Chains A and B, each alone.
Chain A
Amino acid sequence: DAGITQSPRHKVTETGTPVTLRCHQTENHRYMYWYRQDPGHGLRLIHYSYGVKDTDKGEVSDGYSVSRSKTEDFLLTLESATSSQTSVYFCAISEMSTGGIMGYGYTFGSGTRLTVV
């Protein structure tokens, strides 16, 4: 499996403060994703990236921004954290065949539990 790590694993922050979550991969995959997990909603896509400096919005992007300056790193930033952003955040990378054929599913990091108080 591809190496994918998220940091931090847990974080508590105050309302109104900026927060950055980091995702790092070691396998040079092109596609990277940020999801949030909430009870009753499963996982919902926040933003994704299809290459260095190439990003796009997902289903629940309001209040979040992302950056990808290197292939291996994908950062998620909450500019001004709110209590509604308390969640578990997952980073994922796309497993694709050598020919670039999709459909092999995603590999996920271990998640970051963020609490906004």
Chain B
Amino acid sequence: AQTVTQSQPEMSVQEAETVTLSCTYDTSENNYYLFWYKQPPSRQMILVIRQEAYKQQNATENRFSVNFQKAAKSFSLKISDSQLGDTAMYFCAFMVNNNDMRFGAGTRLTVKP
């Protein structure tokens, strides 16, 4: 079974600094997709970044980037120049087919002024 593990239940970072959130997954599949979702206090789930397993290049979206290590089954999220609005729960997610997106338990990130 596919599983996703986020080993950091809570993290904090000072405004303008960089923080990295960890995610590991377990699968026997070779082709799959990985995602990071942000959930602010509003409860809305917002897609931050996505990565296709067959692509070597790490995905980047503005201040958000990933470090995808396929052999190690690791998919960490780096947030640069952290902003107060980045305070949220962050979920790592994994998908093989369109019917089964699996989520980690989440990391609660607090950005401190």
Q: Could you say which residues of chain B place their CB within 8 Å of the CB of A110?
A: 42-44
Report the bound CA distance from A37 to B4 in whole Å.
15
In the complex, number of A-B residue pairs with CB atoms less than 8 Å apart: 57
- Chain B residue with the shortest CB-CB distance to A112: B43
Is there an interface contact between A105 and B35, defined as CB atoms closer than 8 Å?
yes
Measured CA separation A94–B52 after assembly (Å): 16
Q: How many residues of A contact B (CB 8 A)?
A: 26
A107 to B101, CA, bound (A): 12
Q: Residues of B contacting A48 with CB < 8 Å? A: 99
Question: Which one of A41, A50, A105, A110 has the greatest number of beta carbons of chain B within 10 Å?
Answer: A105
Closest-CB distance, A74 to chain B (whole angstroms): 14
A31 within 8 A of B: yes
Bound form: Cα–Cα A49–B44 in Å: 22
- Of all chain A residues, the one with the shortest Cβ separation from B32 is A103
Contact between A104 and B50 (Cβ–Cβ < 8 Å)?
yes
Q: In chain A, residues 83-112, which have Cβ atoms closer than 8 Å to a Cβ of chain B?
A: 88, 90, 92, 94, 96, 102-108, 110-111
Which residues from B are CB-within-8-Å of A56? Answer: 99
- The contact string, 1 if C-beta is below 8 Å from chain B, for chain A 27-65, is 000010100000011111100101000001010000000
* Given A103-B50, A110-B44: A96 touches B91 (CB 8 Å cut-off): no
- Which residues 83-113 in B have Cβ within 8 Å of A in the complex? 91, 93, 95, 97-101, 103-106
Report whether over half of chain A's contact residues are helix, strand or loop; otherwise say mixed. Answer: strand
B45 at the interface (CB under 8 A from A): yes
The answer to whether A43 and B91 have CB atoms under 8 Å apart is yes
Name the distance in Å between B53's Cβ and chain A's nearest Cβ. Answer: 9
Contacts from A to B (Cβ < 8 Å): 31, 33, 40-45, 48, 50, 56, 58, 88, 90, 92, 94, 96, 102-108, 110-111
Show 26 residue pairs from A and B whose CB-CB distance is below 8 angstroms, ordered by the A residue: A31-B98, A31-B99, A42-B6, A42-B91, A43-B45, A43-B91, A43-B93, A44-B103, A45-B100, A45-B101, A48-B99, A90-B45, A92-B45, A96-B98, A103-B33, A103-B52, A103-B95, A104-B50, A105-B47, A105-B95, A105-B101, A106-B101, A108-B45, A110-B42, A110-B43, A111-B43
Going nearest first, the 5 A-B pairs with the smallest beta carbon separation are: A42-B103, A108-B45, A103-B33, A102-B98, A43-B103
